[in-house]
Amino acid sequence: MFKDNKKLVAETIFIKEALKENLSLNEFLLLLYFDNSFDLVFDMKVIAKTLNMSEDQVLEAYSNLIKKKLIKVKAEKDGFGKVIERVCLDNFYNEIRSDVKKNESAKEKEDIFTIFESSFGRTLSTMDYEIINAWIDKGFSEELVLAALKEAVYNGATNLRYIDKVLYEWNRKGYKTINDVNNRFKEDTYNDKLFETSVMNFDWLNEK
């Protein structure tokens, strides 16, 4: 398909993003050309020859990619002070990064559900999924939710109602992170030890 046997390589993630953008074949090929290009200079004649397209087709695809904000043009000077326009694919790459982050976030949620199922020893119901998602949507970090789960398991209460009460109580006390919870636990333990010490040292026989 390509003249001069030039091979253009497309990674899977590139193809998935391009398909999501509903690109025409010419738009896809031109975007792929730029992704494989070393200097990213828009040379219509070279591109048309390489992709076996007419110059009008190249120009149309180029304009459409700009309209879709997948590419933009940056002007820069070469070593001789001559202004050269280069194609920039940052917008397209940012779309890819955004999708990757969304997928990673989805995997993290899958992980938290797996931990719940392992801790409960059963498969979560649809309602369970909704409740856990609701906690996260309300601003509770996954770290804090898992800490509440650990608290529930420690107390032998493997149910979401108990965890909800723990999260409510922590929220009421202003605990936003697991560090807040741990620091308060250390403080309570320290105060308990002080109380035990004061009781042991009290002279009950000579109390008046």
| Residue 132's CATH number | 1.10.10.630
How would you classify the pairing of strands 72-77 and 83-88?
A: antiparallel
Judgement on whether residues 124 and 173 belong to the same structural domain of the protein: yes
Give CA–CA dist 186/135, Å, rounded.
26
Between 174 and 28, residue with greater pLDDT: 28
Number of domains in the chain: 2
Domain range for residue 170? Answer: 106-201
- How does pLDDT run across 176-204, given as a tens digit for each residue? 888 887 776 555 543 444 434 444 444 43
Residue with tokens 């999260």: 167
Average pLDDT over the chain, rounded to an integer: 82
Residue 38 CB neighbour total at 10 angstroms:
5
Between 107 and 111, residue with greater pLDDT: 111
pLDDT at res. 3: 52
- Smallest Cα–Cα separation from 32: which of 86, 91, 92? 92
- Smallest Cα–Cα separation from 128: which of 152, 102, 158? 158
- How does pLDDT run across 135-153, given as a tens digit for each residue? 999 988 888 999 999 999 9
Judgement on whether residues 7 and 74 belong to the same structural domain of the protein: yes
